[in-house]
Amino acid sequence: MSRIKVISHQEATGRLKEIYDELIVKRGKLAEVHTIQSLRPESIVKHIDLYLEIMFSKSDLSRAEREMMAVVVSKTNGCNYCQKHHAEALNNYWKDEEKTENFRVSYSNVHLNDKELMLCQFAELLTRNPESAEKNDITEDLKNAGLSDSAILDATLVVAYFNFVNRIVLALGVELEKDSGTGYKY
């Protein structure tokens, strides 16, 4: 149960209703992570813009790599909501439910290539110990693996974004939708 007032789609009027209706058309359905921001409708729009830029824009990182990092950050933070949603998105690319579920439990449970493993380790380290970046070049392994500066920036943006969203979800009590895995457009 959310810890703050939420305006449902049925109750929404004006600009909030427009935003909700547009999300349903573009994303397939309305997620609880969006409705939790209903008291600040324009924050939903800005949030979606940021999400689309970080997760769907052209990048040296694949969509699957970005979803892997989302799951790792969310697992590290104990955010079941984002873990579940982004494991489902990851499985949309992997098309292997057993591998995806094993990954969700721990990325060390599945075979990953060197780049994928380093991205997961980077996501976990930057989430657990962000201050370590101040003392060490935590991008060094990524650079040595041949990742471009642009890819490293994108990886950092994914980690930062999911730490941001995990905190919204955890602080405000966002719960999984009853039909969380169905209806989203990836």
Q: Which pLDDT score is estimated for 185? A: 63
Residue 67: CB atoms within 10 A of its CB come to: 26
| SS3 track for 10-51 | CCCCHHHHHHHHHHHHHHCCCCHHHHCCCCCHHHHHHHHHHH
Going residue by residue through the chain, which has 186 residues, state the pLDDT in tens, using 9 for 90 and above: 899 999 999 999 999 999 999 999 998 889 999 999 999 999 999 999 999 999 999 999 999 999 999 999 999 999 999 999 999 999 999 999 999 999 999 999 999 999 999 999 999 999 999 998 888 888 998 999 899 999 999 999 999 999 999 999 999 999 999 876 555 665
Structure tokens at 13: 């009027």
Pairwise CA distance, residues 91 & 60, whole Å: 20
Q: Name all domains of the chain by residue range, CATH numbers in brackets.
A: 14-56 (no CATH), 63-172 (1.20.1290.10)
Q: Which pLDDT score is estimated for 138? A: 87
- Kindly report whether the global pTM for this prediction surpasses the value 0.85: yes
- Dihedral, CA atoms, 109, 110, 112, 117, nearest 10 degrees? -20
